[in-house]
């Protein structure tokens, strides 16, 4: 009996060794649990140990794909070309062929739900041009998100030298997917989806079905990494995100995750102040190249140079004696002859050595000028002499002008003076001759001018005489809407109450603020119910809004102008 039991134990041990997977002790164990609302840790074990993340890598691949969509770099219906490198990736895979083109929406579903390696590689190559360039972008984004112990070498997570992460960093990434892209997060809770060329099933279906409140996120397995899982679950107001590295099997990994979540839910409070993660700060590297220039003697050693103004002329010397004689002749010569004397003297601005004295500074010159002026005045008017009386004393007062040229009595009453030509009789006679006696002539008098015609009180807006009644040319009136280009809209379905329709519109506007900026909410009361819709959108914004709703398996329809 003893011998039989020993034989049975031996066979049982051999059978157990054959059944136990080779990865039983292939990877060390690590775990991390955080409160998703605050990001604070609740449980950790080897949380910062660098291990193989396996297909948890695809979370970063999808994060960059969602980022590119939100930035407008690509669309969900963008066609990605499958390379031979992507088509040759080992399973798990979607079955893509080299040279094939497939929409980005199907690649995202295959990478997130089936964990297809060929789909992940196609996403990376389509966004960055090559898998190596995409891996660099993944690492840069990891640093921007605070994942300090993560380095990526590919987009799918197959074991590669230098490709590693930690349970802590993957939990940070899972929280980022939940908060940064809530419009796409529901894809991680799907059990199956249409991937374009095939219907794919979720690798995380068992845990989603077994654990209440679980809604994601991603599984991973390689022989070097073991069975990995980053999960998210909610109970009431509480939400936890946890990561397990190095599970020995799918069942053991899921059981360990369930135990960690159960114990952590009991340790966190129901209500806490939510702290959302800040937007990632991406640092752009700028390469500055400096030109190396060898110094030359001409630039470093100053050389004395002699500047010569060859165009400048020497100053003209002036004979001071000749200049004095010319000034005296100018003072004694009448004004009309002064220019000729100046020309004879050779007066020039360039030849003057110093400013000339004014004539008033020399008494002889002043007397000479006064005598010349008096002589000229006597020749023009012999009755007026500057030598006998002052000039102002001999000037006559102005004769007042008559108020009417037709009134000779006013002119005759002007005071008589000795001035020639100002006799009152002469003025009256001249006025009488200028003004006709008959009323038929044209009068030069202000009082005789006819009164102006009264101005009409009417305002002429346009000339509408008989000559303007011709048939006008036909005018084509072109009307354009004020919101040209924003005449599209989307319909989000029918609701039994107005409150339900309004709640959906407000929630959508808050989550898609960039796309729905400028759009107007509209609720139509129809026989079938309340129809919720957004209007005043461009065609591209309307299509993008419906793409996001359809990605969430929700009803949406684009309405054109």
pLDDT of 561: 74
pLDDT band at 334 (very low <50, low <70, confident <90, very high): low
* Average pLDDT score over residue span 93-98: 95
218 is in an annotated binding site: yes
- Please tell me which residue, 461 or 242, carries the higher pLDDT value: 242
Judged by average pLDDT, the poorest of 26-35, 53-62, 354-363, 387-396 is: 387-396
- Alpha helices in 336-452, H assignment, sequence order: 338-345, 363-380, 391-394, 408-412, 424-434
In the chain, what is the greatest distance between 2 CA atoms, to the nearest angstrom? 177
Q: Which residue has the higher pLDDT, 331 or 193?
A: 193
Helices (H), 266-313: 297-300
In 3-state terms the chain splits into helix, strand, coil percentages (rounded to 5) of: 40, 15, 45
Residue 450's pLDDT is 66
Lowest mean pLDDT among 21-35, 143-157, 280-294: 280-294
What is this structure's pTM?
Answer: 0.50
User: What's the pLDDT band for 127 if we cut at 50, 70, 90?
Assistant: very high
What is the pLDDT, as a whole number, of residue 435? 53
Query: CA angle at residue 437 from 433 to 439, to 5 degrees?
Result: 135
In percent, how much of the chain has pLDDT > 70?
59
Higher-confidence residue of 284 and 379: namely 379
Least confident of 40-44, 282-286, 511-515, 540-544: 282-286
Mapped onto helix, strand or coil, the DSSP state of residue 205 is helix
Active site residue 511: no
Instruction: Answer whether 516's CB lies under 8 Å from 541's CB.
Output: yes
Res. 369: pLDDT tops 70:
no
What residue ranges define each of the domains in the chain, with the CATH number in brackets? 28-203+212-265 (3.40.710.10), 488-559 (3.30.70.1070)
Alpha carbon 424 to its chain's center: 87
Catalytic residue, from 58, 93, 114, 238: name it: 58
Split at pLDDT 50, 70, 90, the class of 165 is: very high
Q: How confident is the model at residue 399 (pLDDT cuts 50, 70, 90)?
A: low
Q: Output the pLDDT for position 276.
A: 92
Q: How far is Cα 56 from Cα 133, in angstroms, rounded to an integer?
A: 19
- Confidence band (pLDDT; 50, 70, 90) for 244? very high
Q: Choosing from 23, 83, 115, 171, which is the catalytic residue? A: 115
Catalytic residue status for 115: yes
Around 225, how many Cα atoms within 13 Å sit in the side-chain half-sphere?
29
More confident residue, 107 or 433: 107
Q: What is the pLDDT of residues 168-194, one digit of tens each?
A: 999 999 999 999 999 999 999 999 999
> Higher model confidence: residue 370 or residue 133?
133
> CA 42 → CA 215, 227, 239, 496, distances in Å?
20, 22, 12, 43
Q: pLDDT class for 35, splitting at 50, 70, 90?
A: very high
Please indicate whether residue 203 or residue 496 has the higher confidence score (pLDDT). 203
* Per-residue pLDDT at 535: 87
Active site residue 189: no
DSSP letter string, 70-121: HTTS--TT-EEEPPHHHHTPPSS-----TT-EEEHHHHHHIIIII--HHHHH
Rounded average pLDDT over 391-405: 53
pLDDT-derived band at 49 (thresholds 50, 70, 90) equals very high
pLDDT at 66 over 90: yes
| Residue tagged active-site, from 55, 165, 171, 533 | 55
SS (H, E, C) 13-40: HHHHHHHCCCCCCCCCCEEEEEECCCCC
């Amino acid at each position: 009996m003893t011998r039989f039991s020993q034989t049975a134990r031996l066979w049982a041990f051999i059978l157990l060794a054959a059944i136990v997977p080779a990865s039983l002790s292939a990877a060390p164990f690590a775990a991390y649990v955080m409160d998703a609302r605050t990001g604070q840790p609740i449980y950790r074990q080897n949380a910062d140990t660098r291990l193989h993340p396996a297909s948890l890598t695809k979370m970063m691949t999808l994060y960059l794909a969602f980022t590119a969509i939100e930035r407008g770099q690509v669309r969900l219906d963008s066609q990605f070309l499958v390379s031979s490198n992507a088509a040759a990736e080992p399973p798990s895979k979607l079955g893509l062929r080299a040279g094939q083109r497939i929409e980005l929406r199907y690649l995202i579903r295959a990478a997130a739900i089936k964990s297809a390696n060929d789909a992940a590689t196609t996403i990376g190559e389509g966004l960055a041009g090559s898998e190596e360039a995409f891996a660099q972008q993944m690492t840069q984004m990891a640093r921007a998100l605070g994942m300090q112990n993560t380095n990526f070498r590919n987009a799918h997570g197959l074991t590669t030298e230098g490709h590693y992460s930690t349970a802590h960093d993957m939990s940070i990434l899972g929280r980022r997917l939940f908060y940064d892209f809530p419009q796409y997060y529901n894809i991680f809770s799907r059990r199956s989806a249409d991937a374009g060329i095939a219907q794919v099933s979720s690798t995380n279906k068992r845990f989603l079905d077994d654990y209440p409140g679980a809604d994601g996120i991603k599984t991973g397995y390689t022989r070097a990494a073991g069975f990995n899982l980053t999960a998210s679950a909610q109970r009431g107001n509480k939400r936890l995100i946890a990561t397990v590295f190095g599970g020995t099997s799918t069942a053991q990994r899921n059981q360990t995750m369930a135990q960690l979540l159960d114990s952590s839910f009991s340790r966190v409070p129901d209500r806490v102040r939510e702290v959302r993660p800040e937007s990632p700060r991406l640092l752009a590297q700028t390469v500055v190249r400096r030109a190396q220039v060898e110094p030359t003697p001409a630039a470093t050693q100053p050389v004395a140079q002699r500047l010569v103004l060859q165009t400048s002329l020497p100053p003209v010397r002036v004979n001071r004696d000749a200049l004095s004689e010319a000034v005296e002749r100018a003072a004694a010569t009448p004004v009309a002859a002064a220019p000729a004397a100046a020309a004879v003297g050779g007066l020039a601005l360039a030849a003057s050595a110093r400013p000339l004295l004014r004539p008033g500074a020399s008494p002889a010159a002043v007397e000479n000028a006064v005598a010349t002026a008096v002589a000229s005045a006597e020749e023009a008017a012999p009755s007026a002499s500057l030598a006998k009386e002052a000039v102002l004393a001999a000037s006559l007062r102005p004769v007042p002008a008559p108020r009417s040229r037709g009134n000779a009595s006013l002119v005759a009453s002007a005071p008589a003076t000795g001035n020639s030509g100002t006799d009152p009789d002469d003025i009256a006679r001249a006025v009488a001759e200028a003004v006709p006696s008959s009323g038929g002539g044209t009068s030069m008098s202000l009082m005789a001018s006819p009164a102006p015609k009264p101005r009409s009180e009417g305002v002429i807006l346009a000339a509408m005489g008989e000559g303007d009644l011709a048939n006008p040319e036909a005018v084509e009136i072109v009307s354009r809407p004020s919101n040209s280009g924003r005449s599209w809209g989307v319909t989000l379905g029918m609701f039994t109450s107005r409150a339900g329709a309004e709640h959906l519109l407000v929630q959508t506007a808050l989550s898609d603020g960039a796309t729905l900026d400028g759009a107007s909410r509209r609720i139509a009361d129809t026989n079938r119910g309340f129809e919720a819709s957004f209007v005043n959108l461009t065609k591209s914004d309307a299509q993008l809004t419906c793409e996001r709703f359809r990605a969430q398996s929700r009803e949406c329809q684009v309405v054109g102008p």
